[in-house]
Structure 1
């Protein structure tokens, strides 16, 4: 099979995969959701997966059982590998089958692997022959022109998407820093209160005037400390809220497109951001 057709298969099935994801999300959410890793109407994992299946397994189309088993193995390996690479590159888990039985690292699970196997058999036996005939009818010059145009668009989209994800991770990192600082201040306040109470109890055995003197010192110190920390807390919370409120369209799309997106490093910050986007979306 030529590189020309493999590339065409990639774009055609990537687009059909995106349509499938959008349709599924539309039925589930009751609204349009631009599903997929990229901004454009293509899901590369579908394009790669189906292109690999039809290229490698076309010779097995007359052996239904072997075709099905091979499809399950190939697609499962591809989905696991893609999930693993995306996780390691961006420190985010883009989909999660952890709640499903017989899953592997949450990237794949038996049920969906079996479903993908059925889908691949139907594609190889029914859909692909029609797609191939349509593409074969296309003049090769037109086909290569489409490949170049779609390829350039894909790489630009990939660059933009990766940049957006890195920006989102930096934002989550900043939110996490603020949350950590708020926890630190809270712990410090608690420790100061504990120390003051402990010292006050120890002073019970001292003279009354000495106790009053130290109590006044404690009160003044706590007042100064509380005012300073209160200002810090107000400023940190303000900054945290500003970060949540600043949500460019690309960030909202990523979070809505991957409802099970999980950040390895900044889980709580991502949940706060997701919750705000969810509530804000309902208001609109």
Structure 2
């Protein structure tokens, strides 16, 4: 089954609703976090729990950083407080508003851009030293354009840090999982368009539409775009997630833009 829906518009409105609800990924950091970052004491996540190794960043002072589909008043203000020149591109005006709130509250400069993560035409080629892309490409139906655009806007030797979802997390029967039973129900390619029944879709009507992407597109897509993957770790979901007792469903990668392809 397919739906005649503008995914970008649908998910923009859905994430605006998540801000109003106070979803975990929409709650801005407090002034104490910004004060600590100014002292050089900070950490951020690409996946639900594990902090990204500081060695993956290097020194942020004076570097140009793009938070790609990563608004919400969390990572971007921290990078700015740590001394980076920061831009944020996100599909949700309300999410961008959380970054604006922190920037105005704490006297930070952060450039806010509303847009599609697959189209970075707002930025010139070679604009950034670092692209920080937390788990968010599950909200678009095609991710290879994301990798190609990230490659384009990075300088040679620039770094892409990404959080990605192992597609298996979307394939279990959610009703049985709530009972502590792990059973495959959906097949790849998974999307809320084609995999859910009308009844199931109605259950999640206030949430963003989700797409599961193969590891071939997630990891192979980065290398095909011209990146060399130089670091990787896995992470589990939030406490109480039954699948996390069996496997780590999230992956973080560090990839470097090669000077020549």
TM-score norm. by structure 1 comes to 0.21
Higher strand content, 1 or 2: 2
TM-score scaled by length of structure 2: 0.22
